[in-house]
Amino acid sequence: MKRPDDGILLVDKAAGETSHDVVRKVKSALRYGRRYKIGHAGTLDPFATGLLVVLLGQGTKLSRFMMAGEKEYLATLELGIETDTLDPTGTVTAMRDVPRMSEAHIRNTAKRYEGKIRQTPPVYSAVKHQGARAYKLARKGVAVTLKEREVIVHALSIVSVELPEITMRIRCAGGTYIRSLAADLARDLGPGGRLKTLRRLRSGVFDVADAIHSGDVLTDVNLRKMGIPLTKALPGMDEISLGEMLAEKVRQGYQPSWNELISTDDPGDPLKENYVKLVSGEKLLAIIKKSDGGDGHEKVKFERVFS
């Protein structure tokens, strides 16, 4: 990255560490001070592994855009054992025999979980309940009832069946809880179950194959070179390249009209999305949102501004 403290870093999180552990490790490796901002987009549970997008410096301003992207997971469901956390870290709440069932039956049942589905987030999750994180209340023994919500599962394919275990590949929209999906599928199959393993393979356009393993973060001398700059952190978002004169005005707080922006861009490349990046050379200036002003003219709202 031109400025190594602004952008994102792809990390392959190991099992047993929290997402915050990874953030602390990156911060230590890059020798950033206490006031330096660093975060991540999309928490991975401690038992889970895979792609964690670490946000560096002004990269933290990209959080909601990064988290909204499509995710892909490899998950193993273990039938016959239920836990309060819906995963291997919790207390066992039920054990049942797993009957014989055909692979065709399993695949047909799993197909019901494609598309728009309703699910309830796990009680042990970061969802807020009465102003507090649900998992904190649950750990104190407080009864927590979370609301059902709609999520989108683009594809759910069965990779292998070796009962009592079923391995699945899942593509879904942000906000989908794989633990809840696995528990619901296990109940539909009869004996119930828990999510045994979970690995995030992809987040948006970024793939775990391009990530540094979290175990190597503290020792890799090329860590800074692996960072992705702000201008390349949202490759799927439309962008408008500004000339230096207008770019400098934007840096000083000027908010151009939509017509001013369009006149600087290639008219043969129509913008498709509501969110648009404003760039100048190798720098990301802002993320804006275009909207209908109600009078037939497009208006501009600045969502994030970068220094």
Q: What is the DSSP string of 261-307?
A: HHHHS-TTS---SSEEEEEETTEEEEEEEEEE-SSS-EEEEEEEE--
Candidate list 6, 12, 45, 184, residue with the active-site label: 45
Contacts of 57 (CB under 8 A, 6+ apart): 3, 5, 6, 7, 36, 37, 38
User: Smallest Cα–Cα separation from 114: which of 171, 175, 186?
Assistant: 171
199, β-bridge pairs: 49, 74
* Residue 207 annotated among the catalytic residues of the structure: no
User: Smallest Cα–Cα separation from 203: which of 92, 55, 57, 97?
Assistant: 55
For residue 38, what is the enclosing H or E element?
strand 38-41
Q: Is the Cβ–Cβ distance between 172 and 74 less than 8 Å?
A: no
Catalytic residues: 45
